[in-house]
Structures are given as C-alpha cells and as structure tokens.
C-alpha cells in the first residue's frame, strides 16, 4: 500500500501546455505545499503549430513527430511546476490531438474527439482508483474555448466522476477553469494600451468565447508566489509559445498577479467558506471534512456502498 499525502489534486487537460497556461500556478502552489498533484494529459498535441523554426519539419503534415517531442516539453514543464505524477490518458499516444473544430483531423481514427467516452473515462477511473483525489480540475462543457479536445476532456472527466461515484470513490469537488468577467474587463482596458494587444479588434467581452460572471466564480487561487514557476513551465513549451509571446510581455508589465492568480467555478461538491464580495474560496480543499481526506486504501480496491464518500452526488452539466 502506497501512502500518498492527505490532500490530492487531479487535473485533466487536453494537450501539453494547457496545464501550464491554465492552471500552472495552482499546480505549483499545491505541489509546493505538500499536496499530491496528478496531471492527466489526454493527447500529445500532435496538431500544434510550431514556433521554433529549426523544428518546423516535425509538424503533423511533415514528419509528424511533434507529439513525441512535446512529451519532453511537458516533462520540463512538470519539473518547473514541481509536479512528479504525470500520465497520458490511456498511455502516451493512445489519443491523438483532434485539431481545431471542423478540420479533417477530427476524423482521425485515434483522434481524441472520436474516443469512446466510456473507454476513455475507464482509463481515468483507473487513475482515480489509484490516487483517490478529493479535488478534480477540468474544463467547462465548452472546453473553456471550444477546442474539440478540451470539450472531450470535460466529457471524459465528468463521465469518470460518475463511474467513480458509483464505486463511492468520486472526488468530493470538481472545478472547471474560468476567467471572471471583471478580470477580462480590466485586461481589455490594459491591453488596449499595449502595442501587441492580443485582443485587438475586440470591443465587447461577449465576442470572447470565455468569461464568467464574477458571482459564478467559486474559487480564486492566489499563487502569485509561483508566478516564476508558471512562467518557466510555459517556456518549457517552446514549440507552442514563442519567446516573444504577448503572454510574457504582459506578465512583465502587470506583475505576478497576471501569472499567479487562477479562477475556477465549482461543478460538483459544496463550496467552502470564502472571502470578498462573492465569497470566493482561496483554497480548493476548503470545506472538505478530514474524512474526505482519507488516503487511498489499496490500489484499485473498490469500496463498499456504505462508504461515507458514496454520498457524493455527481452533478454533470449542473452548476
């Protein structure tokens, strides 16, 4: 029997680099404070653009070696974040990057978009059985911004949660990544003054595929102390994020908060106590009883229906 730390966090992401851009500060924060952080990445990101000229021939329509290369980039990112438990869903290469919505690559036989939901969720369920996370992070039903693999990661994570609930081992809380409207509004104002404004041409927030009303945000993880780790993790994904990216220049202009503060909505579970106008939690484990923090029993062991944790009810698609 392996003993894992009392707090265990599972993240389900679509491609290498999503973990760092979307949740890197949160991952580094929990890893640094003694939680067990498990990252599951669903594809190798084979269809990504390549921003390193000397690696251009690795592209999907050329040598098709980008996916394998990105395994190394992801390892570098995890090292920067202090995360040691990383897996690919079903094993590296099992599911292929589907590419943007509507492209021919969606139809590839191994495209994650084509994955059988229960088979893919079964792979994740095995990890849940082993690690027994109390908290899981994934995307909302639109995959945060509509990429097929992000939508599929959401579906697989929520299906795995249902299957885990039937065994009484579901994570007590499920969060979806989110960006509060107030933060976007402030960003738009700031960016309008920048020469490399990433939102040039956007005058109204409703033109963006993301943005959540502040009152619907449940948690704000302030991990500004980890902003450098997050930036280092992003730089490890050099093929995907150019060294000259606006992400880095804005981080330089607006300080640690831009990189270090991350937001979430709560899809499953009870919100713990929080602070501020909308009572945002500052800890994803807020409100979890000590019992919820019980460690894994035996790897893969099923627990009886009388187990207290079986009371966790999945609320797929509900807020």
- Residues 168 and 203: their CA atoms lie apart, in Å, by 47
- Residues 82 and 29: their CA atoms lie apart, in Å, by 9
Q: Nearer Cβ to Zn ion, position 45 or 180? A: 45
Q: What's the token pair of residue 120?
A: 């893919």
Q: Nearer Cβ to Zn ion, position 142 or 297? A: 142
283 near Zn ion, rule: CB under 5 A: no
46 near Zn ion, rule: CB under 5 A: no
14 near Zn ion, rule: CB under 5 A: yes
Residue 95 is given by DSSP the state S
- The 10 Å Cβ neighbour count of residue 62 is 11
Closest separation in Å from C-beta 284 to Zn ion: 21
88-92's contacts with Cβ under 8 Å and 24+ in sequence apart are: 88/40, 88/41, 88/42, 88/43, 88/44, 89/12, 89/40, 89/41, 89/42, 89/43, 89/120, 89/123, 89/124, 89/156, 90/120, 90/123, 92/44
CB 266 within 8 A of CB 219: yes
Residue 157 is given by DSSP the state H
Say whether 190 counts as a known binding-site residue: no
Closest separation in Å from C-beta 286 to Zn ion: 28
Q: Nearer Cβ to Zn ion, position 41 or 265? A: 41
Q: Nearer Cβ to Zn ion, position 14 or 184? A: 14
- The helix (run of H) or strand (run of E) holding residue 155 is helix 148-166
18 near Zn ion, rule: CB under 5 A: yes
Closest separation in Å from C-beta 120 to Zn ion: 16
Q: Which stretch binds Zn ion (CB under 5 A): 13-21, 86-94, 98-106, 166-174?
A: 13-21
Q: Which stretch binds Zn ion (CB under 5 A): 14-22, 69-77, 204-212, 232-240?
A: 14-22
15 near Zn ion, rule: CB under 5 A: yes
Beta-strand runs (E) in 141-189: 173-178
Closest separation in Å from C-beta 41 to Zn ion: 9
Token pair 């599929």 is at which residue? 152
159 near Zn ion, rule: CB under 5 A: no
- DSSP string for residues in 169-204: ---SEEEEEE-BHHHHHHHHHHHHTSTT-TTTT--S
**# residues near Zn ion by CB under 5 A:** 3
Q: Which stretch binds Zn ion (CB under 5 A): 8-16, 96-104, 118-126, 274-282?
A: 8-16
Q: Which stretch binds Zn ion (CB under 5 A): 6-14, 49-57, 106-114, 208-216?
A: 6-14
Say whether 150 counts as a known binding-site residue: yes
Closest separation in Å from C-beta 150 to Zn ion: 6
Q: Nearer Cβ to Zn ion, position 106 or 182? A: 106
CB 258 within 8 A of CB 251: yes
CB 74 within 8 A of CB 48: no
Q: What's the token pair of residue 29?
A: 């924060």
Which residue's beta carbon is nearest to the bound Zn ion? 15
Annotated binding-site residues for Zn(2+) read 15, 18, 150
Residues of the shown chain interacting with Zn ion in the complex, contacts defined by CB under 5 A: 14-15, 18
Annotated binding-site residues read 15, 18, 150
């Amino acid at each position: 029997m392996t003993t894992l730390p009392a707090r265990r966090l599972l993240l389900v992401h679509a491609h290498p680099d999503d973990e760092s851009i979307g949740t890197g500060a949160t991952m580094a924060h929990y890893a640094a404070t003694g939680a067990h952080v498990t990252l599951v990445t669903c594809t190798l990101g084979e269809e990504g653009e390549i921003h390193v000229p000397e690696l251009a021939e690795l592209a999907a329509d050329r040598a098709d070696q980008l996916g394998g290369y990105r395994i190394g980039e992801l390892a570098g990112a995890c090292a920067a974040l202090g995360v040691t438990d990383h897996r690919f869903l079903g094993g590296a290469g099992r599911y292929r990057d589907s590419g943007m919505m509507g492209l021919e690559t969606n139809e590839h036989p191994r495209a994650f978009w084509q994955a059988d939901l229960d088979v893919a969720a079964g792979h994740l369920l095995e990890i849940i059985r082993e690690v027994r996370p109390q908290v899981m992070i994934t995307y909302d039903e639109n995959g945060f911004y509509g990429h097929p693999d992000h939508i599929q990661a959401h579906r697989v994570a929520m299906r795995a949660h249902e299957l885990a609930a039937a065994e009484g081992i579901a994570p007590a809380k499920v969060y979806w990544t989110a960006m509060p409207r107030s933060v976007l509004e402030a960003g738009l104002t700031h960016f309008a003054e920048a020469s490399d404004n990433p939102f040039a041409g956007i005058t109204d927030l409703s033109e963006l595929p993301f943005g959540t009303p502040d009152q619907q945000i449940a948690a704000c993880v302030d991990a500004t102390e980890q902003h450098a780790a997050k930036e280092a993790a992003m730089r490890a994904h050099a093929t995907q994020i150019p060294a000259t990216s606006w992400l880095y220049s804005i981080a330089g202009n607006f300080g640690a908060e831009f990189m270090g503060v991350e937001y979430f909505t709560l899809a499953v579970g009870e919100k713990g106590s929080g602070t501020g106008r909308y009572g945002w939690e500052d800890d994803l484990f807020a409100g979890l009883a000590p019992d919820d923090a019980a460690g894994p029993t035996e790897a893969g062991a099923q627990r009886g229906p009388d187990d207290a944790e079986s009371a966790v009810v999945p609320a797929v698609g509900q807020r």
